[in-house]
Structure 1
Amino acid sequence: MTVTNIAEGEAPSEQTGEFTTDLTVTDRHDAADGVVTLTLSAPDGQTLPAWKPGAHIDLLLDDGLVRQYSLCGDPRDTGHWRIGVLLDPASRGGSRLVHDRLHAGSTVRVRGPRNNFPLVDAGEYLFIAGGIGITPILAMADEAHRSGTEWSLLYLGRTAATMAFADDLVDRYGDRVRLWRDDEHGLFDIGAELAEPRENTLVYCCGPEPLLAAVEEHCGTWPAGSLRIERFTAKQIEPTEGALENFQVECRKSGVTVDVSGDTSILEALEDADVEIFSSCQEGICGTCEASVLEGEPDHRDSMLTDEQRAAGTVILTCVSRSRSAKLVLDL
């Protein structure tokens, strides 16, 4: 990632190449019941790092909280970033802090952008969004539209009042957008929607776990690689046969080797040994703690990597995954 004209004196991390700086909230808007959008800008109108549809940023909040939010503005706007934040009734503090403390004029520390949900070339796209899962899809739909690629969007929500950006989407794209409100029509039949596999079509889905699980199930008959998902919460991952309770992790760049026991994560062992590595979600969904694997066989327990990435075994999310070999060698 190329970074220009931001926060003189700061630099991208050697580990991730990510940029960390303080941004100002220049606009706050109520987008739906329980959803606010924040527009973030750099001091003095400086240029922000480039990003592509599917990217998210970390907000480094008070009390040590770090939360990820998808960028939902226009990637061509190099002066502003926009995010949408749902106030989660079960919030562990992150969304509550955003809603209560970040207003126009507030300053917030930001890290990124990072993209674990990239829009790759396809003959056609089917976008499926549930609730606040619409945020990463907004820029994807715009990119597909501008490129002339065939696409459609199915946007599911509980009520009209809870569906942020819905009216704007229909105004801009017309019948490419289908809105489904549970209070008017009942639950959507996702099985019927995905019953017939489509060649040369990629399905992009983001939303609550029940929706993602249903889409995964019903895309099982589609061509391999047809489905791309971004999760807000981790899946339940069962340990695989051959996973080790105790193993070593060698950090090739730093020359540090650590022992990892059954009650310690790789990330915790690395942090205890003062190995520089970023972390955020601690659940295997954001990719912040990803490391390259040089030797050994990971035991993947994350909810982010694709089946192809798991099979390749060249990266690992250190916050949750473990090892099937006595030693893992990481590029740290």
Structure 2
Amino acid sequence: MMDAVAALGVPMAVAYFTASGATKGTIRRFAYIGVSVFAPLAYIGLVFYSTPVSDGLSIGRIALSAVWIAIIPGALIAVRRAEWNGNRVWKMLDLERVLGPLFRLLAIVALWWLGSTSAVAFAALPLIAGMLASSILFFPIRAASVNRTRPLRASEFYRYALISAGAGIAASSGARLNQAIMPSVSTSTELGLYAVSTTIAEVPLIIGLVAARNLLPAAANPDTRRHIRANVFEFSGLGLLGSLLLALIVPWVTPLVFGSAFSASAPTTIVLLAGTVFSVFILASSAVIAGLGSPGLSGVPQFIIAGLTLVTMLTLPHPLTAIEVAVISTASQAVASIISAFLLIRKLRQAPDPGSSI
């Protein structure tokens, strides 16, 4: 995740302008200039942050800083990943998604087999293994021919990147804000139940992540935009189906996987699964909105989720139970999904679509 932060919205801009028909050379030049500025700045920030972290983990500050330098090549990999996404060639991205965890696991097993006890080794080697897996992304991209005649100015590219970075920060904060606040407004027992429920309820979010990946470049290219509204509802329907199926088996699966002590988390999980349905729709619609050239608007639903969650959790009487926090989270997502639907309809009506109405 840190490599995406270090790239500061550049990958999303790369995917958008690649799909919309800007010249590859221009996109790459702007992208690598942006990353060469943003990534070192992010690394410098991590170096300053390394002091309290190294004290807490008993790891040398120099060693920690050496490990964190991986965010710079990681940002370059994120740009290349966005190029594949913008060209709508997802087989290589899926392969990297499989190879990355596999290579990192093999690195950890190798260190264990060698008897290593170095925290630095266990931090660095999996990072290197992950980057090795991502090296396949630097193979030539063989994609369908696109009419690349769209002019692109540096100001346009960096404006999109910076605004989309804000939307990404909003998405990250909204997704984890309730768990960040919960320790101060609830008990450790309720926090444990909520953590288990969140782990299960996030499984169908894979559908939303795939939707976001696929729909942004599809919306950015007028030739693939015709059926984008139907695509949003298809992914949303899959999210609903997956959540319903999971809700049916949660009362039996939870004690089997996590133990009988966590059986009480089942009702909380079911409430959170309702929120997951809204989240999948928000992810899909936000990707379309960003693909239609409005990355700032795409982040509005996430800001709403974060704001409603923060205000409600701090206002209600404490301590909050796990199911109360789940209701707050789901209600916030429901409100945000209504706003997201409004923004999506508005953008689709404004977007030109040659040959067919959206």
Q: More helix per residue: 1 or 2?
A: 2
- Please, what TM-score do these two structures have when normalized by structure 2? 0.26
**TM-score, normalised to structure 1's length?**
0.28
Max radius of gyration: which structure?
2
Structure with the higher strand share, 1 or 2: 1
